[in-house]
């Protein structure tokens, strides 16, 4: 049953939601946990052309989400419902099914009656906007209000791990008052002594800017413990590093960020940390490992099971010449109560020597308990081989690992190109970097970073970019190579091929071209970029293959099964009808027998082309099976099926490709039926009727032969 409309619309909100409704410049829509629309603002009507009467009580996905984007919308909804705000660039559709690019924010709020509600905000953006999909929201005010209104227990902490704020759900869940908990150290007041090192790991992840989900336990005010699912979200704020949500439901939901299960590494679903091997180890001569983050030891060639057992104690893979130095450095750290950072060599499982960097913190326990350390070990072999300036190289390799992790989370080519150009400045210390694409003989810049700081032309050094496309090797250049047209950003640069049509260009302020270490790190960056571009291309190909007929290029039956339910729901909502035209090629078996299967394939391709040209953009043609096609007509008038059939007949008659050498003319038989919302027949029954009429028309056509 729909809510009341107009001025009598129910007030669902918290004070935050009511304030947002009055001040927001975007299109707002409020939904319940079943995705039913409860409230919209005037901006929503302006953007999507739906009135309150049209949409209140409707499912938001059925209303404005195109069929191919339903899986994405489902992910956004479930993530938001778990307590994590989401922002994303996506596509929605208006009431007349026109597509519109939007920036979407979704946050969970708690109504005055303690109901979970989802608030969506939409803002239209230009079609050529390329922005990275993110699971973090940059709007500080929005995040703060989402925190305050979160259904889950949540708290903010500063860089020292001290609690700065808690929400109402937290106070109710754990028993403290705001005055009792504010200013307290999370580690000392909430983390049981048996898992104290966990706080160090959480702080490390916060500093690295990662979203962390962790199954663990927490202490309540009455000193009892309970299992929780912990979510730590980084914040770009000097005083508060992020907020942490403690859910007692132990949610199985995961982000694509690193997942760590401290006490159950064997069954953890994560494929490993991209920033190195996080560990906890005893301070002894064997460096006995007690915990290793899942999958992260692969650079050494060993499994977690080997390193966590007596089969392969970690000290045994450290080179003999470096082992005493490593042990002494850790003992010295324990004595001085300072963090340590050491560089040493290990032997991997193949017998190769690797340079690694280890950073960690030591902990001294009372009594006869074993002292231990926690930290991270990173493979820096390539850097160590390429430069004597190891401190700078280590920092750049760490940044490169972080960039690689971000690239693996990308969902579009535009997002990959943007991160690649940003890395030109953050990793390669360039003045600016760009990606160019050769599109139909025209060179286009599709991503850049740093260029806005300089008075540059759009096509900076186009000659070097075009030269790079025609060669295999990178093209290096300096100011003297480009004559009087000096680049305002720098004095030297290089162009590298990303693909047959794409070039990555980087400009430096240095008078000399890039050295070995610059080139090597650039190659690593572009290797990660190319790998993820191939991944995106493969994903698109797989989706396209699953929904299209490989011969004719039109949609297939899988696509029909995917969209027909959505079309039926939309037709019911709008009170419109759906037309179905079954099309069958006459005597197609004889075509294959008399002229060969290659000719038969050409006939299928030409017929599919004619059918597609006879339709509107909102209509669909698909290959239903063999030589049979199905046309789906949406929002049609009663006589529209006849109009389409006449177009098809005329095009078939005029097509030279459908005239065989012996004078035989290829024809088709058609039959149509249409479904209306108030009809008692199902869509399947209407399809069978159209199929029956088509075969009846075919029988009549050839009954005199």
Q: Which residues are catalytic?
A: 627
CA atoms within 13 A on the CB side of 67: 15
- CA atoms of 87 and 586, how far apart (whole Å): 52
CB neighbour burial string for 639-666, b if at least 16 within 10 angstroms, e if fewer? ebbeebbeebeebbeeeeebeeeeeeeb
Q: Which residue has the tokens 């300089």?
A: 454
Produce one character per residue of 586-600: b if its CB has 16 or more CB atoms within 10 Å, e if not.
eebeebbeebeeeeb
- How far is the C-alpha of 195 from the C-alpha of 118, rounded, in Å? 35
109 touches 115 (CB < 8 A): no
Task: Encode 364-377: b = buried (16+ Cβ within 10 Å), e = exposed.
Answer: eeeeeeeebbbbbb
Compute the distance between CA of residue 500 and CA of residue 438 in angstroms, rounded to an integer.
9
**Cα distances (angstroms) measured from residue 367 to each of 43, 187, 370:** 66, 21, 9
3-state SS of 193-249 is HHHCCHHHHHHHHHHCCCCEEEEEEEECCCCCEEEEEEEEEECCCCCCCEEEEEECC
Radius of gyration of the chain (CA): 31
CA distances from 702 to 306, 376, 594, 699 (A): 76, 79, 19, 5
Q: What are phi and psi of 141, to 5 degrees?
A: -65, -40
Of 68, 88, 89, 86, nearest in space to 77 by CA: 86
Q: CA-based angle 700:701:702, to the nearest 5?
A: 95
CA distance 153 to 98: 41
Tell me the C-alpha distance between 378 and 274, whole Å.
10
> Smallest Cα–Cα separation from 510: which of 525, 527, 496, 490?
490
Sheet order of strands, 225-234 included: 163-166, 153-157, 242-247, 225-234, 212-219
232, 211 in Cβ contact below 8 A? yes
Axis-axis angle for helices 516-547, 557-574 (nearest 10):
70
The C-alpha angle with vertex 91 and arms to 577 and 21, in degrees rounded to 5, equals: 100
Q: Which residues contact 535 (CB under 8 A, 6 or more apart)?
A: none
- Scan for tokens 């994405």, then name that residue: 72
* Neighbouring residues of 705: CB distance < 8 A, sequence distance ≥ 6: none
Burial 7-18 (b: 16+ CB within 10 A, else e): eeeeebbbebbe
């Amino acid at each position: 049953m729909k809510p009341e409309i107009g001025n009598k619309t129910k007030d669902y909100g918290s004070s935050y939601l009511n304030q947002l409704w009055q001040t927001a410049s975007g299109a707002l829509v409020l939904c319940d946990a079943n995705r039913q629309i409860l409230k919209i603002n005037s901006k929503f009507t302006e953007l999507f052309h739906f009135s309150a009467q049209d949409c209140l009580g409707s499912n938001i996905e059925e209303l404005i989400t195109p069929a191919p984007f339903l899986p994405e919308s489902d992910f956004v909804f479930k993530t938001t419902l778990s307590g994590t705000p989401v922002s994303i660039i996506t596509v929605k559709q208006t009431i007349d099914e026109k597509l519109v690019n939007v920036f979407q924010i979704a946050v969970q709020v708690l109504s005055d009656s303690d109901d979970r509600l989802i608030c969506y905000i939409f803002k239209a953006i230009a079609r050529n906007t390329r922005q990275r999909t993110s699971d973090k929201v940059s709007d500080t005010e929005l995040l703060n209000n989402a925190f305050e209104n979160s259904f889950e227990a949540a708290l903010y902490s500063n860089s020292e791990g001290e609690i700065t704020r808690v929400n109402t759900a937290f106070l109710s869940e754990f028993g403290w008052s705001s005055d009792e908990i504010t200013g307290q150290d999370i580690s000392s007041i909430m983390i049981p002594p048996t898992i104290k090192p966990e706080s160090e790991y959480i702080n490390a992840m916060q500093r690295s800017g990662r979203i962390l989900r962790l199954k663990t336990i927490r202490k309540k005010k009455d000193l009892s413990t309970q299992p929780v699912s912990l979510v730590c979200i980084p914040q770009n704020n000097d005083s508060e590093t992020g907020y942490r949500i403690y859910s007692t439901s132990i949610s199985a939901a995961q982000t694509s960020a690193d997942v760590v299960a401290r006490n159950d590494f064997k069954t953890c679903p994560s494929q490993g940390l991209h920033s190195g091997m996080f560990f906890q180890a005893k301070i002894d001569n064997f460096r006995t490992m007690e915990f290793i983050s899942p999958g992260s030891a692969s650079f050494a060639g060993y499994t977690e099971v080997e390193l966590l057992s007596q089969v392969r104690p970690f000290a045994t893979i450290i080179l003999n010449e470096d082992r005493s130095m490593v042990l002494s450095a850790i003992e010295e750290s324990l004595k001085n109560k300072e963090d340590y950072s050491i560089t040493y060599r290990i032997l991997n499982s193949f017998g190769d020597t690797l340079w690694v960097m280890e950073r960690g913190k030591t902990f001294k326990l009372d009594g006869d308990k074993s002292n231990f350390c926690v930290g991270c070990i990173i493979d820096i072999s390539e850097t160590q081989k390429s430069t004597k300036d190891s401190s700078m190289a280590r920092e750049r390799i760490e940044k490169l690992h972080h960039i690689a992790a971000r690239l693996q989370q990308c969902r579009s080519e535009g997002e990959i190109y943007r991160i690649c150009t940003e890395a030109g400045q953050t990793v390669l210390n360039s003045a600016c970097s760009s990606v160019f694409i050769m599109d139909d003989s025209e060179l286009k810049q599709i991503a850049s970073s740093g260029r806005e700081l300089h008075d540059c032309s759009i096509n900076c050094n186009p000659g070097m970019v075009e030269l790079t496309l025609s060669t295999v090797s990178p093209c290096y250049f300096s100011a003297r190579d480009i004559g009087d047209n000096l680049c305002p950003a720098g004095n030297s640069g290089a162009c590298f091929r990303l693909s047959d049509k794409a070039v990555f260009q980087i400009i430096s302020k240095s008078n000399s071209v890039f050295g070995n270490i610059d080139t090597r790190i650039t190659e690593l960056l572009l290797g990660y970029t190319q790998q993820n571009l191939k991944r995106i291309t493969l994903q698109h190909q797989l989706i396209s293959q699953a929904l299209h007929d490989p011969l004719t290029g039109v949609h297939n039956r899988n696509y029909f099964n995917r969209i027909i339910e959505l079309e039926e729901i939309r037709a019911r909502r709008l009170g419109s009808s759906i037309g179905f035209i079954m099309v069958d090629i006459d005597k197609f078996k004889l075509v294959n027998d008399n002229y060969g299967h290659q000719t038969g394939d050409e006939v299928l391709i030409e017929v599919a082309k004619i059918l597609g040209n006879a339709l509107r953009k909102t209509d669909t043609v698909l290959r239903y099976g063999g030589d049979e096609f199905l046309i789906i007509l949406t929002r049609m008038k009663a006589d529209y099926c006849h109009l389409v059939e006449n177009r098809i007949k005329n095009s078939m008659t005029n097509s030279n490709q459908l005239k065989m050498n012996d004078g035989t003319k290829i024809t088709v038989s058609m039959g149509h039926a249409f479904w209306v919302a108030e009809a008692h027949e199902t869509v399947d029954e209407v399809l069978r009727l159209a199929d029956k009429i088509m075969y009846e028309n075919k029988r009549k056509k050839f009954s005199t032969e």
